[in-house]
């Protein structure tokens, strides 16, 4: 894992508070499960029907039938429960998930999110993201600031199919942290070693800068 992604994950785990019910999207967000402070009582929910996901299993603990929404083998914490997808999505749509941390392909200055498909490439399905961005009480998106071609992923308008419009509350990249509200997109933190000029250079979206900008 790159140093930039380690920075993203370390910052993202700070969004989780003790006692929360949290959904972690597939991809990079799943690594957060191993980073939650051990003293926290956090229930991780997976849309494929598990509440109480634990850390990734050791080799002797692997159960091929126990997986998360990304088809990765996981463990279950004491008190975990299993249920069908209808009940799982009822939890999401009913507003019982306090925080969802999702990966992103693009985020716009309005807080639009595109994270479920690239036209012309095969996808298994839209997954639970479209429900999560409207059902979870807070949406945090984590992603690299630019793609592998050096093009920004923080855009004026998303060019990929949208998962949801104006749904992102917080965006964490390897360069910075942004918050979204009625005033628009605001830069609130810089990752260590990053300058404001670098963020401006690599961001297409228009954004405000917090008066209390910090590292």
Q: What is the mean pLDDT of residues 186-207?
A: 98
Across 7-15, average pLDDT: 98
Q: Label residue 1 by pLDDT band (50, 70, 90).
A: confident
Please calculate the CA angle 161-165-169 and round it to the nearest 5 degrees: 120
* Whole-Å CA distances, 99 to 19, 63, 92, 215: 11, 27, 10, 23
What's the pLDDT band for 124 if we cut at 50, 70, 90? low
pLDDT, mean of residues 120-132: 80
Q: What are phi and psi of 160, to 5 degrees?
A: -90, 160
Residue 69 has pLDDT above 90, yes or no: no
Told to judge if 47 belongs to the known catalytic residues of this protein, a careful annotator would answer: yes
Q: With 0-12 CB in 10 A as exposed, 13-18 as middle and 19+ as buried, what is 150? A: exposed
Report the pLDDT value the prediction gives residue 126, as an integer from 0 to 100.
66
**Distance (Å) of CA 193 to CA 3, 137, 162, 200:** 12, 32, 32, 15
**Average pLDDT, integer, range 97-103:** 97
Which of 47, 106, 109, 189 is catalytic? The answer is 47
- Residue 75: φ, ψ to 5°: -115, 165
What CATH code is assigned to 3-176?
Answer: 3.40.1080.10
- What percent of the chain is predicted at pLDDT more than 70? 98
Q: What is the pLDDT averaged over residues 60-87?
A: 92
- Taking alpha carbons only, the member of 48, 98, 104 closest to residue 72 is 48
The 10s digit of each residue's pLDDT in 138-185 is: 999 999 999 999 999 999 999 999 999 999 999 999 999 999 999 899
In angstroms, the CA 50 to CA 77 distance is 10
Q: How far apart are CA 134 and CA 59, in angstroms?
A: 37
> What is the per-residue pLDDT for 125?
66
Q: How far, in Å, are 22, 82, 102, 109, 115 from residue 156 at the CA level?
A: 29, 41, 20, 5, 16
pLDDT band for 119, please (50, 70, 90 cuts).
confident
User: What CA–CA distances, in Å, run from 76 to 31, 50, 181, 213?
Assistant: 15, 8, 36, 39
pTM of the model: 0.95
What are the tens digits of pLDDT across the range 40-59?
Answer: 999 999 999 999 999 899 99
């Amino acid at each position: 894992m790159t140093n930039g992604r380690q920075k993203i994950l370390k910052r993202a785990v700070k969004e989780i508070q003790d006692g929360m019910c949290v959904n972690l999207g597939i991809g990079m967000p799943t690594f957060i499960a191993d980073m939650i402070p051990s003293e926290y009582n956090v229930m991780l929910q997976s849309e494929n029907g598990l509440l109480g996901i634990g850390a990734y299993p050791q080799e002797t603990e692997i159960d091929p039938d126990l997986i998360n929404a990304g088809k990765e083998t996981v463990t279950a914490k004491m008190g975990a429960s299993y249920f069908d997808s209808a009940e799982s999505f009822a939890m999401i749509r009913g507003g019982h998930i306090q925080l969802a941390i999702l990966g992103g392909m693009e985020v716009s200055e309005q807080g639009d999110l595109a994270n479920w498909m690239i036209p012309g490439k095969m996808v298994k399905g839209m997954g639970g993201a479209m429900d999560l961005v409207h059902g979870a009480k807070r949406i945090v998106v984590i992603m690299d600031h630019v793609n592998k071609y050096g093009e920004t992923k923080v855009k004026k308008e998303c060019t990929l199919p949208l998962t949801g419009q104006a749904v992102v509350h917080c965006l964490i990249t390897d360069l910075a942290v942004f918050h979204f509200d009625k005033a628009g997109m605001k830069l609130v933190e810089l990752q260590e070693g990053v300058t404001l000029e670098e963020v401006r250079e690599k961001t297409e979206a228009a954004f405000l800068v917090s008066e209390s900008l910090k590292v």
